[in-house]
Structure 1
Amino acid sequence: MKRMVIVGTQWGDEGKGKITDYLAQRADLVVRYQGGNNAGHTVVFNGKKYSLHLLPSGILSPKIENVMANGMVINPKAFAEELAKVDDFNLHISDRAHVVLPYHQELDKAYELSKGSDKIGTTHKGIGPTYTDKASRLGMRISSFVHPTRFKEKLYELIEIKNRELTLFGYPLLDFKSIYDEYQSYAKLMAPYVTDTSLYLNQAIEKDQKILFEGAQGVMLCLDHGTYPFVTSSSPTASSVPLNTGVAPWLIDGAIGVTKAYTTRVGSGPMPSEIHDALADQIRITGNEFGTTTGRPRRIGWLDTVILRHTRRVSGLSYLAVTLLDVLTGIDELKIAVSYDFNGETIDRIPADIEDFMDCKPNYITVKGWHEDITNVKSYDDLPQNTKNYLDKISELVGVPIGMFSVGPDREQTIMVKEIF
């Protein structure tokens, strides 16, 4: 497969950046297709940690062309800060992507605080309000942002509108001049990289180049197919890639579903397989389960294959990539959620209504764990038998073959089971 999507199968933080970084060494292009800097990828190579929030995971390899596609919303200030941390790179930014501006962040806070105890748990990065403006036709595209005169005119109009909205929440008014003076410098920085990325990608496909598409978050945070309203403001599914990049659906060859060997979630919302005991603390500390963007401790749960099958259905998965397998070392018994009890019925689906989903209780099977150190294995055959059994059971329950797995944070601790890209 030459055009592959990397999909998070859970609530994000599955290790997509690591898998993308590994496969990117075989790619010509890496494309980020949605989201903004409300999510983060952590990539470790040669003992050095890189935290990426906007830039595609291939940005660390000078030979790779990187694309920020039209489905993204881009915070220019965050972009400038992140770009300053990388040296030799190739980057292309869609002229149709939308711009996150300071009033989006203020409105994000205002909307969230107004919900009280029903808050979603956003990162206050302004992502939702930016997508809202996009849908309301009040957004600013990158093409306008980098234009020497249109940016000033459009920004003035938008701040007039948004200040009226901020007044309703009792927030202070934003000053046009200070925002313009700061952000025009970001526009000049960004301008050389801006292009029609749909045209660029289709030209790359005509040349038969290898392309990896990566998103932010996971399928369970999809605006349409996730645990609404506890979701993000775009779709991280593989099926959203054509719209978010300007590439025809039939030109995508397949998708790798990245899943942790267990389940995590940041923020509010249902999580049927969540655990709260000392074992949850052990997994959180061993797996360093704290948000890349926020630093918030992640909620911990057993692997939930109802969720993985849901992801397979609504997004499409060709292979699974199982990450953080080493974190489960030393646990005598591992549970896997295989179905839910809901209103006295056993179901294999996720209810659309959030209250119904919160009433679902997981049904588990138990498999034996392992105590051997697996951080230095180089192949599937090197794994202890119980670890192989765990991977095989996941594949059987989800109905998707294991394509790769990882046993540590470093790029070299990623093992291919099948040649898939």
Structure 2
Amino acid sequence: MKKAFFTLSLIFSISIAFGQYQFTMISDCHCTPVTSQDRTGTCWSFATSSFLEAELIRMGKRDIDLSEMYFVRKNYEDKALNYYLRQGKAQFGQGGLAHDVINAYAAAGAVPQEVYSGLLPGENRYDHSEMEAMLKAIVETALKSKSTSEKWMNAYRTVIDNYMGSVPENFNYKGKTYTPKTFAASLGIDPGDYVSFTSYTHHPFYSSFVLEIPDNWSNGSFINVPIEDLVAIAENAVENGYSVAWDGDVSEKTFSARKGIAVLPANDRGEEVWEKPGEEVSATQELRQQTFESFSTTDDHLMHITGVAKDQNGTHYFYIKNSWGEISPYDGYLYMSEPYFRLKTVSIMVHKDAVPENVKKKLGWNL
């Protein structure tokens, strides 16, 4: 279970120092406490569920802990059919993207964590490695069969039940009875309000395209904008009480969840990189494209941006909630420098109202 909500957002100019990094919070929004995805590749659900919980707080709703594993389960089912219909020529695994949670919310609703944890009695950690192998084996067997019956999907769902537990058709929550769909409807979240952005030059700017990354198994569309606009969207969101679902690369040696720092030093600084800020790489649009096409920038991980800060040199950082437990000096959060964000961000998701007015005009949105 998650704890009480953080109240850090009530303090907008608090200086935090560990080692020689000195961070001053510029903007911060309410969000729920850090949790852990444990031994699963479900960061996309943890990050986006946290994003939706922050949306509920922003909307003045009661404190609600959404079940990440409910969305995961729905996606396991959708991936099976997608993999089968594409005759095995599709991504199958634990990964996903922010829009997969939004799609699951729209199609199947949501449930509270206390109703469906995705853990069996006596379990306290997530581990989907064995289940994933079992699920893929079922779909592969169905593909190889010359006369596949409709029973394979029932068998597939039974395996999920055996590892994650079954979802109740009806449940009681705070004195009312719901189904997953009626519960989602009661929250007031409109899945159509959320938009995904990216920034690459192999497609025209201010248009949408299906981003060519492995975890985009559901062929989600992203609005393509210049990197300057992508940064502006993220900053504008947090400055106006919204938050951001972030997807990007965390494979750099200078990304450390345990140290709570993600930077891109211009030169090899050794261990000093963790001790104090220094000069960073100039992350241009051209360099973004180069690293994307060379696969040195990949969609490794999703996290939840909840704040903007600056260091003693004036460099801006995004304050980010991770889903690897309360590690780092910042209890599971980390500070990502703007240069790192500029180069290593693959995509973001925000509420459409968080988009700056000048970007909306470029997109031709009705204001």
TM class by shorter-chain length? 0.3 to 0.5
